[in-house]
Structure 1
Amino acid sequence: MSKSARPRPPRWRRSPFLGVPEELVVEILVRLSATCLIHLKRVCRSWRTLISSPEFARYQLERSIAYSDAQIAYSGQLRRLRRIGFLPLHSLLDNPSSSAEVVCVEAERHYDIVGSCNGLLCLLVRDSRSTSVLLWNPCTGFTSEWLQTGGFIITCGFGYDHVNHKYKFFAAVKMPGSHEIVSKIFTFGVNHYWKTIENPSLLFNSLQCIIMIDLIGKSMKGTVNWLVPLANEEDVIVYIDLGRETYGELCLPQRDPDDNLGIFPVIGVLRNCLSVGFDHKKTHWALWLLNENQCWTKLAIIPYHPVFRFARLRTLYISDDDVLLLIGRNDKLYLIYLNDGRIVLPMIDSSSDEDVTPMSKGIGTRTLAVYYPSLVMV
């Protein structure tokens, strides 16, 4: 997200901070949490106008990201359980030996989380014939209109088009009563619309079957990305540019012939960069980041540990002081301290998730997304 100008609050006749410069009022309010700001909209009309403005929402989001006010949002694995959980990341990173508490929000239906962008969660509902999608801001309560896909989603992704400043949802949809798979992009907003685009040959084989490893694409800087393993060839990343609505390909870092090539690479997003991790010489795990120049740079070499051996490690988050949160063997969450090599299994109190396996024992089939609370609406 580009840097936005600091919003100027409207002039009010009776200010809660009489004599305080307007710019200082903005700086005070923007440092508060999005949840707190929702309540402060009731203080006076001028604050409601200020806090409800898109400029203030963008400024608050930038601070939230800069100061790592991140959470893990997840949906449970049982479709009869209609709730979404939120786990503050700072509680995991600051004191992993103390139980970080999960907060659950009851929902009307069971949702899968496709992804999160600027404080919006993209939620997916599946049934036997079709799938539906909507956007939800947990802080403000904003929800978009339901999006009907017209078929069963084979793969999908959600992200922000920085060129046109629009939120978009990509889906490869199997049409009812046929074997046809159609690729579509939906643009959210007042004038929302579907657009059909050409299917990329690498995402579908001749039998119209998806051959990706990860069925939900990774969103990063206006693109949605998938790892595509190719028989007898180097694996590639196929992406769709949400602004241009075109496809492209990226090569992965060169792998050593001594690597365990039977363990597929895993792509993710760390520090707003595309990441990839894979087995390295059957003794280590290599983690790479794609920099601004579209070159892969090595972030870390992680020695094998019994809890990681022969596992596909899925990265979720990395802190400014190089603490890596990932999903390892048996679907458990781990913290790796890259500076000294420590590996910690954080304690998580998920007792609010009744009838579900505790998260400390594994995330199971939960769908996860890194989420920054915000005031953003479409």
Structure 2
Amino acid sequence: MDRLPQELVIDILSRLPISTIMQSKSVNRAWRNLIRNQVFVNMHFKRMVENDPSFILQIRDQPIQSQLYFGDFSSHPNDRNVTIITKKLTMLPLLTNFHLVSSCNGLLCLRGTHRSLGLICIYNPFTRDSIELPKLIAKGPSHQVGVLGFGLDATTNKYKVVEVSYKRIYRASPSHVVRPVNRLAPQIIAPSSIDSEVHILTVGKGSPTRRNLGNFPFHFMCQKSQVLVNGKLHWISYPRGSKAYLAIMSFDLGNEQFKEVPRPDCISSDRQFHELVVLRGCLSAVCFDYDNEELEIWVMKEYDVKESWVKEFSIGTYLPKILQPDERESLDSSMFYMPKTCMRVLCQLRSGGILLEYKIKALFVYDPHCRTFQNFQLTFEGIPRCFTLAVHVASLNWIDTFIEAP
């Protein structure tokens, strides 16, 4: 290929899977330099975005819970049960225990746990580039720290991690004192409120920085999926002191402002959305219709326009075949009729199918046209009982690389 024009070589190599490209680095120095070329990195990334998404999967079983795997949905046969062989990824020695937070442009945000508590790291599992971010140290047992999201600020071409710290505030008022049955035992003061602060960690050329944006009057619900739309991260939140009203809050990575996004009209006292997800670039909300026992997916066709919310999909109850017979019997009763606690919407494939996760143990695709389900069989080194999964676009990108919008 040395005699071919560089533009043609870049076009050919950019169509290869990420694992094949990484192997080709060892061919010679010219190929290694070509793969680091900015034009090649952008072209390869654009082609990966056009394909069905890949995924990064973290095993949650002991003792291998700090191991990541890579899987690809870009091609599979049209049969009812598909086996996807995953690739074991090389891990960072500085993270002995971690939690997979999210993925953006091929980069992973990892949060340390146990012995690595407080550590946040940005990592490309294929190029093995990594950077450790400044720690926010919890101040006492009443102080908790969590990572909300990770994304690219296109206005500055810098990555930002949104972190929140919660602190329980105790006030010695009669209404917050728990009196023990035994009069000799000490009285316990229950927390009267929870104070939350938002921190921004900025990563780009130069050293990473941390800033405190101050208090935030909403509580964030635990969310498994990264929801990044129009340069804004999104969460389900509720006002401080009240869980009756659920709101969709956004955070603009450019101007670093929070804003409430209009909710779909389906929301009522007996029908609340419990998950946000991105489907084909659109903000979507998932709720459960108890009357029809269906999982509903509402899609905002035009961002920030309330009237553009439409119910796009209704998915009936389903139990993947991969589950063990004894577990199927237990789920056939109460849990089977509570799919909102079991099913998680991941993404929409190019075929139009909806990729779902069941009880962090199984993956399957729902075909909205035929209203049928297709099972996926995941193959590992060992058979894990449960996992954490993040939709991922594999790339050669790093924090100092300018990724053009596809």
| TM-score tier (shorter) | 0.7 to 0.9
Give the percent of matched residue pairs that are identical in Structure 1 and Structure 2. 22
Q: Indicate the residue corresponding to 1:367 in structure 2.
A: 388
Q: Aligned with 1:198: secondary structure?
A: strand
Larger strand fraction of residues: 2
Distance in 2 separating the partners of 1:186 and 1:318 = 30
Distance in 1 separating the partners of 2:227 and 2:19 = 27
Which of the numbers 67, 74, 91 marks the counterpart of 1:90?
Answer: 74
Which of the numbers 216, 223, 232 marks the counterpart of 1:214?
Answer: 223
Cα 1:38–1:290 shift into 2, 3 Å:
same
Give the gaps of 5 or more residues in structure 2: 139-143, 171-193, 320-335, 400-406
Distance in 1 separating the partners of 2:267 and 2:195 = 39
Aligned partner letter, 1:300 = E
Q: Indicate the residue corresponding to 2:10 in structure 1.
A: 26
Q: Indicate the residue corresponding to 1:120 in structure 2.
A: 107
**Within 5 A, what are the aligned runs for 1:82-161?**
82-90=66-74, 94-95=78-79, 97-105=81-89, 107=91, 108=93, 109-127=96-114, 130-151=117-138, 152-161=144-153
Q: Indicate the residue corresponding to 1:304 in structure 2.
A: 316
1:106 Cα deviation from its structure 2 partner: 5.3
Q: Indicate if the aligned counterparts of 2:346 and 2:357 stay in contact, CA closer than 8 A.
A: yes
Q: Indicate the residue corresponding to 1:6 in structure 2.
A: none
Q: Indicate the residue corresponding to 1:279 in structure 2.
A: 288
1:175 Cα deviation from its structure 2 partner: 7.1
Q: Indicate if the aligned counterparts of 1:83 and 1:110 stay in contact, CA closer than 8 A.
A: no
1:22 Cα deviation from its structure 2 partner: 3.1
Answer yes or no: is 1:251 the counterpart of 2:257.
Answer: no
**Within 5 A, what are the aligned runs for 1:207-356?**
212-214=221-223, 218-229=227-238, 231=242, 234-255=245-266, 260-261=270-271, 264-280=273-289, 282-283=291-292, 284-295=294-305, 296-298=308-310, 300-305=312-317, 307=319, 309-312=337-340, 313-328=343-358, 332-350=362-380, 352-353=381-382, 356=384
1:226 Cα deviation from its structure 2 partner: 0.9
TM-score after normalising by structure 2: 0.75
Distance in 1 separating the partners of 2:245 and 2:168 = 34
Cα 1:154–1:145 shift into 2, 3 Å:
closer
Which of the numbers 151, 161, 182 marks the counterpart of 2:197?
Answer: 182
Aligned partner letter, 1:196 = N
Give the gaps of 5 or more residues in structure 1: 1-15, 204-210, 358-363
Distance in 2 separating the partners of 1:215 and 1:30 = 31
1:181 Cα deviation from its structure 2 partner: 4.0
1:159 Cα deviation from its structure 2 partner: 1.1
Cα 1:148–1:213 shift into 2, 3 Å:
closer
TM-score after normalising by structure 1: 0.80
1:192 Cα deviation from its structure 2 partner: 1.5
1:95 Cα deviation from its structure 2 partner: 4.5
Q: Indicate if the aligned counterparts of 2:112 and 2:120 stay in contact, CA closer than 8 A.
A: yes
Q: Indicate the residue corresponding to 1:167 in structure 2.
A: 159
Cα 1:66–1:150 shift into 2, 3 Å:
same
Which of the numbers 10, 26, 39 marks the counterpart of 1:55?
Answer: 39
Distance in 1 separating the partners of 2:278 and 2:32 = 35
Answer yes or no: is 1:17 the counterpart of 2:2.
Answer: yes
Q: Aligned with 1:369: secondary structure?
A: strand
Q: Indicate the residue corresponding to 2:54 in structure 1.
A: 71
Cα 1:298–1:248 shift into 2, 3 Å:
same
Q: Aligned with 1:157: secondary structure?
A: strand
Larger-gyration structure (1/2)? 2
Distance in 1 separating the partners of 2:110 and 2:77 = 27
1:138 Cα deviation from its structure 2 partner: 1.3
